[in-house]
Each structure stands twice: as structure tokens, then as C-alpha cells.
């Protein structure tokens, strides 16, 4: 049986689309067991359904500061376990992962962030890099830990920032790298998990 991944996302799902393409071409040996969003009408849910992947919305609750309610944490954890998920993949998930969800999938949850961590954590990291006058930006795949955009770095991809670049052009360049890097790293992490390393 192919290893199952569960995807958590809040947006349109461009990274999910890239993962689906890599699965279809055989470059990523996995299947998507479940897609969950905290946003009821998120594009990622429709994208999953179009791919024939189980998809569901979980009410995030009314907690402030990007926090999921305890009920949402329990629901997401339970749904991922019931789906037989081996690795949880965050794809533009705009909520902080904590509690039982983090504990249950400790060492089995990855995220991709649009900066060269540890620089520029948080929202719109490519804008932060551009405004800081950096000569390069990029993206980082890392294991998820309790802090925001923290956790062990697995791999990074770099992109140049050119004179005349805008936030949009830098972001587009980063996304191109994200779509290649994430699937490759997901495959590597799954192989390590299955080997017991």
C-alpha cells in the first residue's frame, strides 16, 4: 500500500495541485488520504474534490491569534487518524498547530514556508525579504514544532531578487520552487518514516 498523506490548507491549494501532479506522474509514491481546511469555501477543498480526494471543512472556532479551538484540534486529529494518514502536510494552513494534533503527529508533520528560515517568519515573508533589501529569497520545508515557522529545517530552495522586482514577481518565483521542492521532500520524509529512521 502506498503511504497516505493528509493535507491541511486554508487557501486555493497551489501546493496541493503540485503534489497531485507529482503523484499522477509517479514522481511521488504516495496517495492523499484526506484534505482538511479551516475555511469553508477554500479553493483547496474544491481542488481536492475535483481530484477525487476526500475533503472536509472543520470549524476552527472563534479563538484569536490564529489559534484553533480545542474542539477543532480534536476533530482534525481524529479525522487524520481515521484516514490512516502517515504524514501531515501543511499547504498554506493559516492556523497554529498545537496540542494533541502536534503531539500525535510529532516528527510526522511538515510545512513549507516562503522564506529562507530562520529569516522572515510569519505572513507575506517574500514581502519582508524584498523590503529588507535582500538579494535572494526562497522557501523552506521544515518539520512542524510548537513555535510559528519553527522546527527542524529539512531543505531549502533559493531564488534571486532582481532590481525592479515586486512582491508579486518574487512570490511567483518562490512558488515555482515550492512546487518542485515540497513533493521531493515529502517523498524523502515518507521513505525515512517507512524505514523507521
Contacts of 147 (CB under 8 A, 6+ apart): none
Q: Chain-wide mean pLDDT for the chain?
A: 95
Mean pLDDT along residues 168-192:
96
Confidence grade of residue 197 (pLDDT, cut at 50, 70, 90): low
Whether the per-residue pLDDT at 170 is higher than 60: the answer is yes
- The CA-CA-CA angle for residues 65, 74, 4, to 5°, reads 105
Q: What is the pLDDT of residue 175?
A: 95
Going from N- to C-terminal start, the domains of the chain cover 4-111+141-154+178-195
Digit-coded pLDDT (tens) for 49-64: 999 999 999 999 988 8
Q: What is the pLDDT of residue 165?
A: 96
- Dist CA 139 CA 52 (whole Å): 29
Q: Are the beta carbons of 99 and 18 closer than 8 angstroms?
A: no
- The CA-CA-CA angle for residues 76, 183, 22, to 5°, reads 105
Q: What is the pLDDT of residue 42?
A: 97
Q: Does domain 4-111+141-154+178-195 have CATH number 3.40.50.880?
A: no
- 36 vs 4, 25, 68, 92, 156, CA distance in Å? 14, 24, 13, 11, 26
Q: Which residues are catalytic?
A: 113
Amino acid at each position: 500500500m502506498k503511504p497516505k498523506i493528509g493535507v491541511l490548507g486554508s487557501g486555493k491549494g497551489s501546493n496541493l495541485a503540485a503534489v497531485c501532479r507529482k503523484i499522477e506522474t509517479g514522481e511521488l509514491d504516495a496517495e492523499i488520504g484526506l484534505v482538511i481546511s479551516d475555511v469553508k469555501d477554500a479553493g483547496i477543498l474544491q481542488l481536492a474534490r475535483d481530484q477525487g480526494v476526500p475533503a472536509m471543512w472543520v470549524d476552527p472556532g472563534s479563538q484569536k491569534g490564529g489559534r484553533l479551538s480545542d474542539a477543532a484540534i480534536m476533530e482534525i486529529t481524529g479525522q487524520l487518524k481515521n484516514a490512516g494518514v502517515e504524514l501531515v502536510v501543511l499547504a498554506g494552513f493559516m492556523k497554529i498547530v498545537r496540542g494533541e494534533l502536534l503531539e500525535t503527529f510529532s516528527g510526522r508533520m511538515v510545512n513549507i514556508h516562503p522564506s529562507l528560515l530562520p529569516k522572515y517568519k510569519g505572513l507575506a515573508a517574500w514581502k519582508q525579504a524584498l523590503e529588507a533589501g535582500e538579494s535572494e529569497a526562497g522557501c523552506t520545508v521544515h518539520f512542524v514544532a510548537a513555535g510559528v515557522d519553527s522546527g527542524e529545517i529539512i531543505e531549502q530552495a533559493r531564488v534571486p531578487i532582481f532590481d525592479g522586482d515586486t512582491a508579486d514577481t518574487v512570490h511567483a518565483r518562490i512558488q515555482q520552487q515550492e512546487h518542485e521542492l515540497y513533493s521531493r521532500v515529502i517523498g524523502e520524509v515518507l521513505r525515512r518514516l517507512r524505514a523507521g529512521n
